[in-house]
Amino acid sequence: SAVISQKPSRDICQRGTSLTIQCQVDSQVTMMFWYRQQPGQSLTLIATANQGSEATYESGFVIDKFPISRPNLTFSTLTVSNMSPEDSSIYLCSVVSLNTEAFFGQGTRLTVV
Amino acid sequence: KQEVTQIPAALSVPEGENLVLNCSFTDSAIYNLQWFRQDPGKGLTSLLLIQSSQREQTSGRLNASLDKSSGRSTLYIAASQPGDSATYLCAARDSGGSNYKLTFGKGTLLTVNP
């Protein structure tokens, strides 16, 4: 299994500002994944972060809004830029083990006011 | 495009009852299926992973089954306890080129009453 530390655990932000979420894994992994969970909804994949290359974004998500960094094999950040109330969600990072079992961080609960 | 549906959306049971949560998926060509637990406002905890070649997996009071041909999985919880109260999510992993991609259902909110 993998232990994933994500921070902050929650934040309340003003519209128009940006928030950077950090994700630290206790082992080296090739791919890290960022998900969004809007209120009352299930998880939606935002992007896949590979070390040494640009992140791959899913349909409906763009780099200008959700820039991602992946400086090494144990760490990644997701920035939510120019926030609006519609960005209020839980953001989660995830990794996959060798047998493709997915593990998640404890999530960042973002409220934009 | 894979779609995952969970029924029921919410379930309330008395403590001690055995219960079944249902998960269906539209594309049977999955790599595996995983069940998670999510407490309010928190991240996901992996409960069980069933590979496409397996029919079931067990962990303690939990048993998950997989029927690929019918596109269904069930999570059986025996002797439910108030601490089992949470949202249970299932997710199917594609077996295509993007075999890392998980598609989630919306979850079943379980309440176990003392």
pLDDT digits (tens, 9 = 90+) for B14-24: 999 999 999 99
Mean pLDDT of A55-62: 94
Interface contact flag, A41 B106, Cβ < 8 Å = yes
For chain A, the straight-line distance linking the first and the last C-alpha, in angstroms and rounded, comes to: 37
In B, minimum Cα distance to A31 occurs at B100
**Could B46 and A33 be called an inter-chain contact, meaning their C-beta atoms sit closer than 8 Å?**
no
The rounded mean pLDDT for chain A is 94
A101: distance to nearest CA of chain B, Å? 7
Instruction: Mark yes or no for CB contact A100/B105 under 8 Å.
Output: no
For the record, the structure tokens of B14 come out as 């008395």
Helix, strand or coil for residue A79? strand
Q: Is B89 touching A (CB cutoff 8 A)?
A: yes
**Best mutation site among A6, A24, A31, A43 for testing chain B: the one with the most B CBs within 10 Å?**
A43
Q: Pick from A5, A24, A42 the residue to mutate for testing the B interface (most B CBs within 10 Å).
A: A42
Q: In the sheet that B62-67 helps form, which strands lie side by side, from edge to edge?
A: B4-7, B19-25, B72-77, B62-67, B56-59
Q: Report the C-alpha gap between B66 and B89 in whole angstroms.
A: 15
B85 Cβ contact list (under 8 Å, min separation 6): B110, B111, B112
- Rounded-to-integer distance, Cα B42 and Cα A92, Å: 9
Per-residue pLDDT, B114 = 95
Tell me how far apart the alpha carbons of residues B18 and A109 are, in angstroms, rounded to a whole number. Answer: 33
Per the structure block, which two tokens stand in for A28? 């080296």
Chain A closest-CA separation from residue B80 CA (Å): 24
What pLDDT band is residue B99 in, cutting at 50, 70 and 90? low
pLDDT in tens, B51-96: 999 999 999 999 999 999 999 999 999 999 999 999 999 999 987 6
pLDDT digits (tens, 9 = 90+) for A13-56: 999 999 999 999 999 988 899 999 998 888 999 999 988 888 99
Q: Answer whether B24's CB lies under 8 Å from B72's CB.
A: yes
pLDDT in tens, A25-35: 999 988 899 99
Nearest CA in chain B to A2: B46
Q: Look at B41 and A90 and tell me if their CB atoms are within 8 Å.
A: yes
Long-range contacts, B51-54 (Cβ 8 Å, 24+)? B51/A99, B52/B95
Give the pLDDT score at B90.
97
